[in-house]
């Protein structure tokens, strides 16, 4: 073979090697991509599967009257404990016919609730008359070896109107599947302490009225909440009339659309840090700080109000509020925004831009 033929053969050989290498890289990339896609799909399938085989609580509504949501029973529950093992006593309270229930999502016995008498006495209204009766302790447990009970994706109304409930021990209650926590503690009138540090809220989209009418709470720290997917915070802390300290410094509000009545009726709160709030998607701030009677200063410099259509009664009856600091560029009130009664009863008659 002459030199010319040898050179051509070398070029062909090089092209062949390059083509084979390229094909190998393409195939490797396709395999890698398929493995990644399969992993995501398997993770999703696993989560979906978990909802049917793991010990997961059922969901309730505000109108539920079954199990421990029976009005006569829930009105006497003073404490709740999530415990690691199902341990139903041989006898329950003498004045109820049923004292334990299957409260699993798929009714397979994987989550059981039961009540026992305790030493508390509670005032209970029956047929228009009020009298004292013994209180109950509610226990909830799953059948797994690790003692975990998972919250239902719809975790709204779990303790709606448990008006004599004073304490909750969460144990290994796991909220990682929860997407709805609206009205979760609504009208828990006597709940004076609530540790929320173990809650996984990474999938939650609504916290509407979550703590509404928790009139005995004096301190609440929810700084550990992941609120990055939450769109609705309507009346979230409304009517927490005795709350003296509220910690929400790590709230991610970038997807929230509704903040109306969020802090309504917080009569004794003297300060609140909302300086990190992203309100760029919020459309309503109606009565957001209504009746916050002890607030004196609000730092709203991060509030972007370009999308807001209602600020009606936003600072209504904030009788000690003298200073509201806002941004010159972000605090923009559109022509169609309802600002009626915005400063009614407030010491401040406007905002300070800087």
Write out the two tokens for 185. Answer: 């503690």
- What letter would DSSP give residue 70? S
Q: What are 167-217's pLDDT values in tens digits?
A: 999 999 999 999 999 999 999 999 999 999 999 999 999 999 999 999 999
pLDDT at position 33 over 50? no
Predicted local confidence at residue 150, as pLDDT: 96
Alpha-carbon gap, residue 174 to 189, rounded angstroms: 24
Instruction: With a cut of 60, say whether residue 147 has pLDDT above it.
Output: yes
> How far is 184 from 179, CA to CA, in rounded Å?
12
pTM: 0.85
Taking the domain 179-354, which CATH number applies?
A: 3.80.10
237 C-beta neighbours (distance < 10 Å), count: 26
Task: Place 126 in a pLDDT band, splitting at 50, 70 and 90.
Answer: confident
Radius of gyration of the chain (CA): 28
Q: How many CB atoms lie within 10 A of CB 73?
A: 19
Output the average pLDDT for the chain: 90
Q: State the pLDDT confidence band at 116, using cuts at 50, 70 and 90.
A: very high
- C-alpha–C-alpha distance, residues 345 and 295, integer Å: 13
What is the per-residue pLDDT for 51? Answer: 60
Domain spans of the chain?
1-53, 57-148, 179-354
> Alpha-carbon distance 159 to 36, whole Å?
41
Tokens of 204: 């939650």
């Amino acid at each position: 073979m002459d030199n010319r033929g040898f050179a051509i053969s070398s070029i062909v050989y090089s092209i062949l090697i390059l083509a084979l290498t390229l094909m190998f890289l393409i195939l490797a990339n396709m395999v890698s991509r398929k493995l990644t896609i399969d992993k995501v799909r398997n993770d999703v399938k696993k989560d979906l599967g978990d909802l049917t085989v793991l010990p997961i609580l059922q969901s309730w509504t505000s109108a539920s009257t079954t199990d421990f949501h029976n009005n006569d029973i829930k009105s006497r529950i003073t404490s709740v404990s999530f415990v690691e093992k199902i341990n139903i006593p041989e006898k329950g309270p003498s004045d109820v016919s049923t004292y334990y229930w299957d409260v699993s999502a798929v009714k397979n016995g994987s989550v059981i609730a039961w009540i026992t008498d305790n030493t508390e006495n509670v005032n209970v209204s029956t047929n228009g008359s009020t009298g004292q009766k013994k209180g109950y302790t509610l226990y909830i447990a799953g059948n797994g070896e690790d003692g975990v009970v998972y919250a239902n994706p719809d975790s709204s109304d779990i303790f709606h109107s448990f008006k004599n409930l004073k304490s909750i021990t969460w144990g290994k209650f796991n909220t990682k599947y929860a997407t709805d926590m609206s009205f979760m503690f609504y009208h828990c009138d006597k709940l004076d302490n609530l540790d929320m540090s173990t809650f996984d809220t990474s999938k939650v989209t609504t916290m509407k009225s979550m703590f509404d009418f928790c009139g005995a709470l004096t301190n609440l720290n929810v700084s550990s909440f992941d609120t990055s997917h939450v769109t609705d915070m309507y009346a979230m802390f409304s009517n927490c009339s005795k709350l003296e300290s509220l910690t929400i410094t790590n709230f991610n509000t970038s997807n929230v659309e509704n903040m109306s009545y969020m802090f309504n009726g917080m009569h004794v709160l003297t300060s609140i840090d909302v300086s990190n709030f992203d309100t760029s998607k919020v459309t309503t701030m109606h009565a957001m700080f209504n009746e916050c009677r002890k607030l004196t200063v609000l730092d709203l410099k991060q509030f972007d109000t370009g999308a807001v259509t209602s600020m009606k009664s936003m600072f209504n009856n904030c009788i000690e509020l003298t200073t509201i600091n806002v941004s010159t560029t972000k605090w923009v009130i559109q022509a169609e925004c309802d600002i009626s009664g915005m400063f009614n009863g407030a010491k401040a008659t406007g905002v300070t831009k800087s």
